[in-house]
Amino acid sequence: MSLIFPAHWDVLPFSVAVKDVTSEYSKLQKSEYLEQGKFPIVDQGQQKFGGYTDDDSVVSLSGYPAIVFGDHTRIFKFIDEPFCLGADGVKVLEPKVELDRKFLFYYFSSLTIESAGYSRHFKFLKENVVPVPSLVEQKRIAAILDKAEAIRRKRQQAIELVDDFLRAVFEDMFGDPVNNPKGFPIGTIRDLVATADYGTSAKASEAYGEYPILRMGNVTYQGRIDLKDLKYIDLEGKDQSKYLARKGDLLFNRTNSKELVGKAAVYDMDDPVAIAGYLIRVRPNERGNSYYIAGYLNSAHGKATLKSVCKSIVGMANINAQEMQNIPIMLPPAEMQRRYQELVVATRCRLIRINSSLKVVEELFSSLSHKCLSGQI
């Protein structure tokens, strides 16, 4: 978003208006996270909280509300309760001048910070200027955007409820994978797979190429395909069969942070897309079904299994194609898997309508934010 500020607003360099106070906060390693606890842990992940801790000695009891920036993910979070920081890739930012923190958070969130891959982006954030209207004006703008954000959050919660519903459907049909109450044979994902192939390592273009290319960020933690932030690539005829995903293929994220490695989603679009090297394209055999495999991998037990089998390599985690196929899984009848697919597809069709509504809300919020932060409202 490109903003032109009113003449009566002060506009300051980032270094004059904002300071990095990350060093004042204690940090916890990922291995120390709890799934439940007294205090949240804030890291650079997509979710607001990455985990929890009961150790009040590492929790900032006074350093909030706080603005937290994901140095790799470019995500801003506004934290208004006691919290602890995750160990890597986060910055805590604080105003050095008379700036309302919620106003500053909304301003930062409006900025477009181009992705530099798995690199640090704080250096790009610091290139921006910071507007400083009167404190009364800042609070007024923050209050307007708070109300709009509440509407946007309700729409997002509806989408999250769909994800919860599909996880419940999986467990209702097949039972808890931990104890297999329906007594299905136990095998491995390999028993359900015909082929598992890696994507291409060829360099993609921001604007040119015959095929869109899906990268690890296009497979979400919730088990969906996100077509934002696409790049493009050309493929020779001999490479198309190796690197194109078609409708019904399962895409598996083989390399990522430990909490995100193993993300899995079914590609359900009609037009083929290329896949990048951090993804594995899985095609089931006559015994398997992409939706069933994805449902298992996105279940609580599936995600716990993925964390237990991944290997850490220089700060990243990896599960290769062979290791993925060796993961134990229940082997229900193919017809039962197909019925699960039908339920997922029908539910996702409804989700498309919710997403369309959310897109309108997002556009309205962006327009409102632009007007507020440029002094037009």
Q: Hey, which residues does 197 pair with through a beta bridge?
A: 281
Residue/partner pairs of 352-357 with CB below 8 Å, 24 or more apart: 354/155, 354/158, 354/159, 354/162, 355/159, 357/155
CA–CA separation, 318 and 313 (whole Å): 7
Q: Give the chain's end-to-end CA distance (angstroms, integer).
A: 16
Q: What share of the chain is helix, strand, coil (3-state, %, to 5)?
A: 40, 25, 40
Q: What is the CATH number of domain 10-132?
A: 3.90.220.20
* Mean pLDDT value across the chain: 91
Per-residue pLDDT tens over the stretch 311-338: 987 778 999 999 999 999 999 999 999 9
Per-residue pLDDT tens over the stretch 70-114: 988 899 999 999 999 987 789 999 999 999 999 999 999 999 888
CA–CA separation, 248 and 241 (whole Å): 15
> Does the pLDDT at position 302 exceed 90?
yes
pLDDT at 268: 93
| pTM score, whole prediction | 0.65
Q: Which CATH superfamily is domain 133-180+333-377 in?
A: Bipartite methylase S protein (1.10.287.1120)
CB count within 10 Å of CB 51 equals 22
CA–CA separation, 132 and 98 (whole Å): 8
Ranges of CATH 3.90.220.20 domains, the chain: 10-132, 185-331
pLDDT at 313: 74
Per-residue pLDDT tens over the stretch 190-246: 999 999 999 999 998 888 899 999 999 999 988 999 888 899 999 998 999 999 999
The least confident of 244-253, 303-312, 334-343 is 303-312
| pLDDT band with cut points at 50, 70 and 90 for residue 62 | confident
Region 123-128 average pLDDT: 94
> Does the pLDDT at position 53 exceed 90?
yes
Q: What percent of the chain has pLDDT over 70?
A: 99
> Does the pLDDT at position 1 exceed 70?
no
Q: What is the CATH number of domain 185-331?
A: 3.90.220.20
Per-residue pLDDT tens over the stretch 167-192: 999 999 999 999 999 999 999 999 99
